[in-house]
Amino acid sequence: MVTSLRMWLLLRKRDAGRTDPQRLSGVLAVVAFAVTTAVALLVLGGFQAFAERAANAAVDDYDASMYVMLAGTAAGLLLIPLVTLGGAASRLAVARRDERLAAMRLAGATTSQVSTLALLDSTLQAATGAVIGAAAYFGLIPLVLPVTFQQRPFSYAELVLPWWVLPLAVITVVLVALVSAAASLRRVAITPLGVAARQAPPGLHWTRVVPIVAVGIGFVVLWNTGQAPLIVLILFLFGGLAVVNIIGPWLMGVIGKRAAKRAKTAASLVAARRIIDAPKTAWRSVGGVALATFIASMAAAAAMFGASGTDTIMIDIGTGGQLTLVIAAVVAATSTGVMQAGRIIDQRTEYRALHLAGTDIRVMDKARLLEVGIPLIAAVLLATAAASLFLVPALGVGLVTQPVVVIQYLLSVVGACALVLAGSWASKGVVRTVLA
């Protein structure tokens, strides 16, 4: 342990330079952990507010308990991209060191030493980001105060969590980081030659598509027969989202191969090859948009019922859907920016080779945007199809002919996609850093 600690301190000194990609990846990981912690605490604060209102409501006020269930559903939906972002931050810290750690394994370092080095990095970055995020949470609360639910806005005290939640959140983030980092380390510790040789991952099978059909049919049957309570239907919605995340990586691989065959420019060919090489990473970069699209569909459907302005709970469901959508879009944009910057650092040798071969930086930027844009379109279409599989059989075909539904849905999706593309565009400065 002492030897591993000394080696870690030496590596920390080695990464002290401002232009060192390892240092840059560490900064990105801290930012990702900070966003994860701040947003997670804000979401939990919102759930607490509804729970307190329900506790103080009249005994016969059944709507109050309904608000708690809906708030819990929204919190559960948002925890999915937050865990993904936290996991991405952990993988960013470890994956950027794959080659160095693999080289150390080949040079004689033990598995425990290699694992300890990477886990120490992840612990430090996760703890730093979580503490920053816990402090930033108090600054985010005022942004939510103007939002009105149950015909009254939130108060600051409603959204402030008990003091013991903050250290618990920091510990949770660190544990998530350690678990994700340990999982990422398995391929370095077991097959260092494979990492050093940059071997391609195995392909994904089309059978990933099958579960979504089963989940969709089950939901429709339960909805139309009335054989399940609301909580069971909500669980089916979560199951649908989980299945979408199973299908997504396979779909990225299929689209990447088709894009490579039809590529007419250097930028489109490079983007397609990168998607083929890492379909799971391509999906993680836009998976948050798939969730945002799914939420946008639900919020737009709620807007159809709340358009008359008389049903308070339906109006609040639409408002909650829009708030959830905004948070999901911001998390998705952050996730895309962090993952894109991480991929640039990981592929810095390729970028330098392309630059030395005469490739213009604008071509690299275009390839990078296509690397996000192509999966982005696929994610939106997949999430739209999945949402339609739940909503159309339950609410009827008339849902897609309502102008208020279509317009709100399109504006929400376009806004979420714009944020994600902005996150990708923000990472272009990393290209200049690795080429410097």
**Among candidate residues 301, 326, 325, the one with its CA nearest the CA of residue 314:** 301
Query: Using one digit for the tens of pLDDT, what is the confidence trace for 68-104?
Result: 888 888 888 888 788 777 777 766 655 555 555 666 6
Query: Using one digit for the tens of pLDDT, what is the confidence trace for 81-90?
Result: 887 777 777 6
pLDDT band at 46 (very low <50, low <70, confident <90, very high): very high
pLDDT band at 420 (very low <50, low <70, confident <90, very high): confident
Tell me the two tokens of residue 363: 């071509």
Which bin fits 339, alpha (ψ -120 to 50), beta or left (φ > 0)? alpha
Q: What is the mean pLDDT of residues 404-411?
A: 82
Q: What is the mean pLDDT of residues 152-172?
A: 92
Tell me the two tokens of residue 359: 């490739």
Tell me the DSSP string of 1-33: -HHHHHHHHHHHHHTTSTT-HHHHHHHHHHHHH
pTM above 0.85, yes or no: no
Tell me the DSSP string of 259-274: HHHH--SHHHHHHHHH
**Better pLDDT: 429 or 202:** 429
Whether 16 shows a pLDDT value over 50: the answer reads: no
Q: What is the mean pLDDT of residues 280-301?
A: 81
Q: Which amino acid is at 341?
A: A
300 touches 403 (CB < 8 A): no
**Among candidate residues 65, 89, 294, 56, the one with its CA nearest the CA of residue 176:** 89
**Better pLDDT: 400 or 377:** 377
Whether 191 shows a pLDDT value over 60: the answer reads: no
Whether 190 shows a pLDDT value over 90: the answer reads: no
Tell me the DSSP string of 157-182: HHHPPPTTHHHHHHHHHHHHHHHHHH
- N-term to C-term CA, the chain: 36
- Mean confidence (pLDDT) of the chain: 77
State the Rg of the chain over Cα.
23
